[in-house]
Structure 1
Amino acid sequence: MSTVVTTPLLAQGKPEQTEARPAYYIAEFEPAVAGAIRPYSERVESTIQPFGGRFIVRGGKLDALEGPSPKSVVVVIAFGSLERAQAWYHSPAYEKLKPIRHRAGTSRVYIVEGVTHP
């Protein structure tokens, strides 16, 4: 006798969701020296493209609605999955740029998983 294992969705006759959830790299960057981030900014986009990443926020106006307003530039990069975002962040090409960002100012950086919509 063989045993068949199904997910609850398959047991209910619904297809199993295999679509990856998007992920977002979010950085808050507070410059220490004016212009020191320029070499990083000029090169970073070429490191995200091989991982399917794209900027959706790159500075711009910020409207703080609750709590203290960030004293920094906010950057959001969208990726197709958490794994792709992590692979980019740890890639050799991006590893070379991190020291430039670290010397240029202070950062808060994190990756969050998004949601999919039917």
Structure 2
Amino acid sequence: MAAYGIGYLWNVNLGPGIVEYLERIDATLAPFGGRFIAHGGQIEHFEGSLPEGNAIILEFPDYQHARDWYHSDAYAAIKALRSDNAEGHIFIVDGVSPDHKAIEVLAANG
């Protein structure tokens, strides 16, 4: 089942560090089957509070591939280019099956 790497970044310094990060990140994703499905598109914020920023969603074949990518040597080599030039939240979340129903979370937590 697919898993998603999700990032929300703000105060991004669009200098040489971020440019290099963007030039190199695709190569780190490929060995783990990762791909961008959202990257800085329009956001309409409805609830809670977030600083103005950018949302990024990566899709992976499964949770283990997502974890392996984040902890890979290839990603470790560029991670500071992002973290030194932006504030943000980064996390991984498991996907659900195409026929998932909301009520199913009760059985999973019960």
Report the TM-score range of the alignment, normalised by the length of the smaller protein.
0.7 to 0.9
Q: Pick from 21, 26, 33 the counterpart of residue 13 of structure 2.
A: 33
Aligned to 2:72: 91
Q: How many angstroms does 1:72 deviate by? A: 1.5
Is contact 1:25-1:109 (8 Å) kept?
Answer: yes
Q: What's the counterpart of residue 18 of structure 1?
A: none
User: In the alignment, which residue of structure 1 is the partner of 2:33?
Assistant: 52
1:117, 1:34 → 2: CA distance? 37
3-state SS of paired residue (2:84)? helix
Please give the secondary structure, in 2, of the residue aligned with 1:88. Answer: helix
| 1:78 aligns to 2:68 (yes or no) | no
Give the CA deviation at 1:114.
Answer: 0.5
Q: Return 5+ residue gaps in structure 2 as ranges.
A: 100-110
Name whichever of 64-73 and 50-59 sits farther off.
Answer: 64-73
Match of residue 116 from structure 1: 97
Structure index of larger Rg? 1
Q: Provide the secondary structure at the position in 2 that maps to 1:115.
A: coil
RMSD: 1.4
Letter in 2 for 1:42: E
1:100 corresponds to = 81
Give the Å deviation of 1:68: 2.7
CA distance in 2, matches of 1:31, 1:94: 21
More deviation, 38-47/78-87: 38-47
The total of aligned residue pairs comes to 98
**Residue in 1 that maps onto 2:2:** 22
Q: TM-score, normalised by structure 1?
A: 0.76
| Percent of residue pairs identical | 36
Secondary structure of 1:38 counterpart: helix
Aligned equivalents of 2:81 and 2:27: distance in 1?
Answer: 15
Moved over 2 A (4+): 31-36, 67-70
